[in-house]
Structure 1
């Protein structure tokens, strides 16, 4: 389906950039477009919204002319939630309005405000910026919004989530009442609809999203990973699925720094992107990805919206997103403009239930599997080498002469070996990973390393020493606890070696294990210095706790469960002592009655 009738200046520009037919959101917006009408649009990320609203406001700005007049008071204002998205929108509008003679100024935090002020003073047709910087320019008298004909709010839901409501209202209140207002949002939540009712006039509502249907161009994969091997799993996923660019999402800046350093150490061409970086560093990182100098970007959710990176075929959720919106926005960085992409969710075995709920809420049907093994990655490398297009390219006379010299001097076998080594030297080595079982439950408590069995290496028998130290770990069989990953995890959290770990006993909801008493204090100190909410370790005060099943959690809601009746006087008590039942000594717990 070709684009509908547009001003000639846009038809020529779209043709020059290879736009043969509109996306669904572009077709819907242009079909309902009126030079004086407002639009309330919800569309999936990566659907071509920038071109859609750029074309939509075109007739409003041109007002029947072929080109825009001399730059003066701005005619259009585009507001975006983040610096990267605002800069990307400005670049898109630059080429879209190039033949129309438009001057586009971008105003974002982190850039030189004085330079932006000079550009605004010189005059422009379109301003693109973030809410905070735009309001600052407005209040300082640098930006005059009195002549605006159109205002666009891009990713409006994100701007409200980030707390920009006051800034948006202050800016919109200073614009002419008869302006056009186009509001674009991934979702039309209640606060978005309220904002639209206040600042729009009889807006046409356009919804191009498919409810409970995942992005058709994105394949979702959920990979079960041992909790202590997330970093190694990222390496193998990048090696197995990362044929193009890759974006790896972490939850915190500290996680970004750590994973960035780890991948760079392994030889990946990687950059980092987080809120703690300066604007210059963030711009250079994105440019490295666009130029192909870097292939992997490790980022926080600052990169989850609006970024359009070429050749991005893989998104990895190294840490689970907080909600379904974050999952969809992160994944939406790939599979854009008709290209296929893969979104991989790394699921620690201890958080499988959380991941399943997240995927279900997002309407995503993911393919569950174990992490790619080192053997499968090496097999894929072998196939890629044997089918490399370079082997079938036509050669010139100089190359043929060099090939003959190599064969004559070294022989075909040595030349082939050199090619293999050169090919492998450019690829980081895959990691050997533990493959968690797809089953989540067992039948009986596991007793591990308590007595060495056939084929099992004997460890330090701590149980035979006095002062045995037992500890409790907050994961068990229900979370696929397994000694293969529990031992490295305990070593990492407590700064001990596996020779200092004794018996390990796995129950349904917890695991009990022994630590050499000579290292117990140091172990607990290390645990306290590096807390992990998902992996809580506390002392098991009673050494005999290991012989009992874990206690049931108290009833929810603060209500007391059914009280057991005390044995009558003269009957044998729970410890085999004849006599009256013991009464509770001391004050009762807060909020409960004393039992006698």
Structure 2
């Protein structure tokens, strides 16, 4: 067994690793660190989750000189990954007083300018913002001795090829170059061949192709059935925290809106969102205010999301390695997970290719029927009933039973109550309780559903004005307003929710009478 102290890392880095409780390197770290410490160029085939950040960060930090000039440059495809890498390097280099600065879009550039002006040793950034600083003259690459391309395949997919080449051409020819990629398409290999010198090839993908604790299944449906099929699967599975992958940003937007319109607590994340919106989406998902995160592959790179119970491939990825990357989001840290794919008949061959490449079985299941969904709801109802019995505090209800028991059998009364409650659930007529979780609203707020949206030319000011005028609630008390193409969500304080529903229903917004209801949480 190899340990970090045997790899040749500097003492301050080893102290930081001991502080963090790291003793044994992962396979990619054990292979890459000695090679990079020796100064060789590297082409590493390693998927996210294998420890690749430390594989390049630790040798970089061990080789830095004390001068506060940019000596190492790490390029990453997304803001999230750039921040994650920078934070990791700061933790690893804290005993060496390493100066690390992330540069990316969506953050005020003045903060980055001040940091660069104070002097840094490592710059971690997205290609666009790195080039911006180069043009401003605030980032000079004359002393760069190490360049890392992290998630190279994703950077090329996002159209950064020319930017990457421009940046590499401005760095010294004698630099060390390391390229880390989850997949190795021809474009990545071509870039590697042109900008590395006698690079050492490292691969751990064959050892990490599947997530052993993740059960993999698929349902075959027609394209027109896909949304309804997804909803049935969600109703039967009732995931606590699920990521749903789509092929494009437009697909993710459409699916997110469809799920929200059907009452699911869903959020969408992709590259078109502003940084504040991305942070808000991730906060809601991590805190359990949204159960479903609809994402594209690129947006999901670098996101640190623990405890995902389900991964759902709404669109099957184009290659086996992307599939493995997706399903690796669940079944982590010793937990079990479930990976579900929805495929069309034309995609059967793709599933077969994934099975052969990953040497794993993806089980075909029959799509849940409406009867299955109803049975799951009844099961959930029984679980909820047992929980109420455990909690106690039933005296007022026992008095009601005793009063009615004079003319009816107790078993008949219980059966009638169950029928009444279950019919409400199955018909989706019940409203979320004001004391409940607010269908994903912030603490102390309730989320309302309005059947008007962008297509009706509705603006946030229209919503705020209508609530203020019709209900008398000051605009400052109104919470988040999310306007979609055909509907809108608005958050209002708990104690005003029923007044808003009554007062706003039927009011004209942009010439259309609006219907208002409580946003329903997914039945679970």
Q: Partners in 1 of 2:329 and 2:424 — Cα distance?
A: 26
> Among 55, 59, 63, which residue is 1:56 paired with?
59
Whether the 8 Å contact between 2:78 and 2:299 is mirrored in structure 1 is no
How far apart are residue 178 of structure 1 and its match?
3.9
Residues 308-347 of structure 1: matches in 2 within 5 Å? 308-336=304-332, 339-347=335-343
How far apart are residue 223 of structure 1 and its match?
0.5
Would the alpha carbon gap of residues 213 and 49 (structure 1) be closer, same or farther in structure 2, given more than 3 Å must change?
A: closer
Would the alpha carbon gap of residues 149 and 252 (structure 1) be closer, same or farther in structure 2, given more than 3 Å must change?
A: closer
Would the alpha carbon gap of residues 117 and 48 (structure 1) be closer, same or farther in structure 2, given more than 3 Å must change?
A: same
Q: Partners in 2 of 1:426 and 1:216 — Cα distance?
A: 41
How far apart are residue 142 of structure 1 and its match?
1.2
Residues 9-88 of structure 1: matches in 2 within 5 Å? 9-19=12-22, 21-30=24-33, 32-61=35-64, 72-88=68-84
> Among 148, 157, 161, which residue is 2:157 paired with?
161
How far apart are residue 334 of structure 1 and its match?
3.2
Q: Secondary structure at the match of 2:206?
A: coil
Structure 2: give runs of 5+ residues left out of the alignment.
Answer: 403-409, 429-524
Whether the 8 Å contact between 1:249 and 1:300 is mirrored in structure 2 is yes
How far apart are residue 49 of structure 1 and its match?
1.2
Taking structure 2 as the reference length, the TM-score comes to: 0.67
> Among 137, 140, 148, which residue is 2:133 paired with?
137
How far apart are residue 232 of structure 1 and its match?
1.9
Residues 176-215 of structure 1: matches in 2 within 5 Å? 176-210=172-206, 213-215=209-211
1:223 aligned onto 2:219: yes
Q: Partners in 2 of 1:416 and 1:172 — Cα distance?
A: 73
Residues 147-546 of structure 1: matches in 2 within 5 Å? 147-210=143-206, 213-241=209-237, 243-336=239-332, 339-348=335-344, 350-356=345-351, 359=354, 362-363=357-358, 365-377=361-373, 379-380=375-376, 403=393, 405=395, 409=399
Q: Partners in 1 of 2:240 and 2:31 — Cα distance?
A: 31
CA deviations 1:191-249 (Å, max 9, x no partner) are 43443344334333211111895443433211022432211222232344453421112
More helix by share: 2
Residues 579-594 of structure 1: matches in 2 within 5 Å? none
Would the alpha carbon gap of residues 2 and 403 (structure 1) be closer, same or farther in structure 2, given more than 3 Å must change?
A: farther
How far apart are residue 31 of structure 1 and its match?
5.1
CA deviations 1:363-406 (Å, max 9, x no partner) are 4531111223344455556666767899599x9xxx8xx73755
How far apart are residue 271 of structure 1 and its match?
0.9
Q: Partners in 1 of 2:165 and 2:227 — Cα distance?
A: 43
1:4 equivalent in structure 2 = 4
Whether the 8 Å contact between 1:48 and 1:337 is mirrored in structure 2 is no
CA RMSD of aligned residues (A): 4.0
Would the alpha carbon gap of residues 53 and 420 (structure 1) be closer, same or farther in structure 2, given more than 3 Å must change?
A: farther
Whether the 8 Å contact between 1:245 and 1:296 is mirrored in structure 2 is yes
Would the alpha carbon gap of residues 382 and 31 (structure 1) be closer, same or farther in structure 2, given more than 3 Å must change?
A: farther
Q: Secondary structure at the match of 2:165?
A: helix
Whether the 8 Å contact between 1:250 and 1:318 is mirrored in structure 2 is yes
How far apart are residue 429 of structure 1 and its match?
8.5
CA deviations 1:514-566 (Å, max 9, x no partner) are xxxxxxxxxxxxxxxxxxxxxxxxxxxxxxxxxxxxxxxxxxxxxxxxxxxxx
2:487 equivalent in structure 1 = none
| Aligned pairs, number | 416
Q: Quick check: which has more Rg, 1 or 2?
A: 1
Whether the 8 Å contact between 1:47 and 1:336 is mirrored in structure 2 is no
CA deviations 1:124-170 (Å, max 9, x no partner) are 23211111221221122111222234221111122233332222222
Would the alpha carbon gap of residues 262 and 166 (structure 1) be closer, same or farther in structure 2, given more than 3 Å must change?
A: closer
2:89 equivalent in structure 1 = 93
Larger mean Cα displacement after TM superposition, 120-129 or 198-207: 198-207
Whether the 8 Å contact between 1:267 and 1:428 is mirrored in structure 2 is no
Structure 1: give runs of 5+ residues left out of the alignment.
Answer: 64-68, 431-596
